Chain A
Amino acid sequence: MLLALLLCYAGFTALCLSTDRHHGELLHSKPTPRRRLGLRVSGWLLLPGSIWPAVAVAGWSQGLVEWCAVLMLSALLLVLLLPYRPRLALGLAGAGLLACPVAAFVTL
């Protein structure tokens, strides 16, 4: 569940950064079209991609339910962190991505 959570959170952060408004708020610049595309693609790859670790650990039925729960929770967490601790929100996504191999090693 942890790996799925990290991937979902990173995915949502990438999607969030791919919008002009949030990119401006968080990084104080407008994203270049290439970067916007890159962020959007990686976000949309990470979100469905996180199904795999959830299902691999818990099986299809339970895994999908856990994935849905983690999906909702990570989005909620990101949205509630953004206005108060934008740096932390970004940092968490980065740290989460870095911790992915560890989480994969522990859970899979």
Chain B
Amino acid sequence: MKSKTTLPVSYRLAVTSRVLAAVVGGYLMASLAAVCLALWLPTSRADAVVTGMMSSFVFYLLAVLWCFACRTAWRAWFGVMLPTAAFATLAGVGLWMART
């Protein structure tokens, strides 16, 4: 654990990387998931936004859990960024359809 002074630097870096993946990457993913819900739900615009915002925290939670459960810090980033990219694509399509 952290309190021992013998922890190697690589371990500390890995933990920092995971924390960043969880906090920043997780927020990005949760935001994009909420945007997808807001754009794609077949309800009124305001209701879709409320649903998106309300459920985004569950996505955030799942991202955080994933970041600390997986085997390496690289996988943590990969596991967060993959759904982020998917949500971003979906959101992009949704926005493009809304424009045209």
Q: Do chains A and B touch in the complex (CB under 8 A)?
A: no
Residues on A lying within 8 angstroms of B by beta carbon are: none
By a beta-carbon cutoff of 8 Å, the part of chain B in contact with chain A is none
